[in-house]
Every structure is written in C-alpha cells, then in structure tokens.
C-alpha cells in the first residue's frame, strides 16, 4: 500500500479505532514499510495523544473506559443513523430471523426493536445483545470469535464459522466506506470473513449506511456493491450513487 506518511498514520488510527491495538510487525507488513518507519509513525501518533505505545505495539487510548461503559467510539451523524434505523423497521416482521451486524447504525436499529414480538436476532455485537437480551419476546443469539473493544464486537474465523449452515431472512449490514471503485470497505481485515459469511447466510442483505460513508474508502475491501440487495441511507446521498445502484440492480431506500 503506497501511502504518504500522513495518509498511513490516518489509516493506522482508523484500524486502531476498529481493533483497539496492533503490533508493529503486523502494521509494517500491511503497509509494506519497515518496522522503523512504523515506530516513527506511532511516536508521532502518541505525541498527538491518540494512542499509547507499548513494547512491540500500540493501543488506542481510553479504550478501557469505552468497554466499561459499553460505548462505541463512532458516534458521528447519529441523527441520520436514527432515521435509517426507523426506516429499517418497515422491513422487519414478526417471525423473522435477522442478523444485526456490529456498528453504530445497527445499534440504533436494535434500540428501535424493543417491544417487537416473535423475533430472533443473531449478532456479533456485545452491546446489541445487551440492548435486546432482556426483551421477553426477542431471542438473541451471539456468535463466537475474538473480541474487538472499540466496536464491542466479535470477529475472525470463529465468528464467521458460526454462520455456516444458517439461513435467515434478512441481514442488516454495516460498512465503514462505500467506494465506486473499491465497493464495500472496512478498517479491519479480520471482519471481511465475518461479513461475507453473514451475506451468505441471508436471503436479503440490507446495507445500512449514512450518506457520509459514500465516497469513502477504508483499508480493506469486501467486494463489489452487487453483494447487497438494498441500501438504506439518508436523503443527502449524491445522485451519482443512485445511478450506480440502478446499474447493479440494488434498490435504494431513503430514510427521510
């Protein structure tokens, strides 16, 4: 990955906000630079107050408080995310089995599901399981996997294997960025196998993403937009994306 130093440091922060920590050797391999270069990057990031270095690696500051409080790091555009969550309710019916991916938008969906009856929710998000776990008429099922503190989620091969042989009606999928070139993108490579397994298990896939995600490209690509069936977003989406969705036979649903 050929990036300028400031671009590389931005990607490192993006990854840490997703995974919580990283090793120097892992980062050097991902960005195809030397360990010395990565250490220099981490030194600059530590001076900015965003991270804390440790022997052989780095971790995101304040991560302990986030986990204790069950709070997500990404709380931007919550007004848009709430509108999207309300719109999602039009596509969830009594008797459904659905997958709720981890993320701030899907967390808003979970909040709106309180009071639903005869619903099964499968999720890899600890906070979503806690939100819905006390609901008497909602069955909550969690995946296994490796815990990621910033997103309060489970990831990796174990999480992906959970979905083998499952069949659900609907998946509500999150994403970090939607690019015309790279498709659906995410900060964490370990998440890709989980997202793919979720898509394979679902009859219908709803991508839930606010308009600020369009045009953004994160570290790792899951694949083309054609992987999804519906996109639920807010009305601020640019018209050029609407045309792309039509070409890929993806139904655009606006939350207004």
Burial class of 98 by CB neighbour count within 10 A (0 to 12, 13 to 18, 19+): buried
- Torsion of Cα atoms, 37 then 32 then 152 then 146, to 10°: -120
Residues 6+ apart with CB under 8 A from 64: none
User: What tokens were used for 246?
Assistant: 């039509």
Instruction: Render each residue's pLDDT in the chain as its tens digit; 256 residues.
Output: 567 888 888 888 888 877 778 888 888 888 888 999 988 888 888 888 888 888 888 887 777 776 777 666 666 788 999 999 999 999 999 999 999 999 999 999 999 998 899 999 999 999 999 999 989 999 999 999 999 888 899 999 999 999 999 999 999 999 999 988 889 998 888 899 999 999 999 999 999 999 999 988 887 899 988 899 999 999 999 888 888 888 888 999 999 8
Which CATH number is correct for 78-255, 3.40.50.1360, 3.20.20.70, 3.40.50.720, 2.30.30.40? 3.40.50.1360
Token match 């719109």: residue?
87
Class of domain 5-61: mainly alpha
What residue spans in the chain does CATH classification 1.10.10.10 cover? 5-61
User: What is the DSSP code (8-state) at residue 1?
Assistant: -
């Amino acid at each position: 990955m050929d990036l300028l130093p400031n671009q590389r440091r931005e990607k490192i922060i993006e990854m840490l906000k997703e995974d919580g920590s990283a090793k120097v050797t892992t980062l050097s391999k991902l960005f195809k630079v030397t360990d010395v270069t990565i250490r220099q990057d981490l030194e600059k990031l530590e001076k900015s107050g965003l991270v804390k270095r440790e022997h052989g690696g780095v971790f995101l500051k304040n991560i302990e408080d986030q986990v204790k409080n069950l709070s997500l790091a990404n709380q931007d555009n919550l007004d848009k995310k709430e509108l999207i969550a309300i719109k999602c309710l039009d596509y969830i019916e009594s008797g459904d089995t659905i997958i709720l991916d981890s993320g701030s938008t899907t967390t808003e969906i979970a909040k709106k599901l309180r009071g639903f009856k005869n619903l099964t929710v499968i999720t890899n998000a600890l906070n979503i399981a806690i939100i819905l776990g006390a609901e008497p008429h909602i069955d909550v099922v969690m995946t296994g996997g490796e815990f990621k503190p910033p997103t309060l989620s489970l990831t990796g091969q174990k999480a992906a294997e959970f979905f083998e042989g499952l069949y659900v009606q609907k998946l509500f999928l999150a994403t970090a960025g939607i690019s015309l070139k790279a498709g659906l993108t995410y900060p964490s490579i370990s998440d890709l196998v989980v997202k793919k397994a979720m898509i394979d298990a679902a009859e219908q896939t709803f991508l839930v993403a606010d308009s600020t995600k369009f045009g953004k490209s994160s570290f790792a690509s899951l694949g083309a937009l054609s992987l999804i069936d519906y996109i639920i977003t807010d009305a601020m989406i640019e018209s050029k994306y609407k045309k792309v969705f039509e070409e890929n036979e993806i139904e655009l649903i606006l939350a207004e």
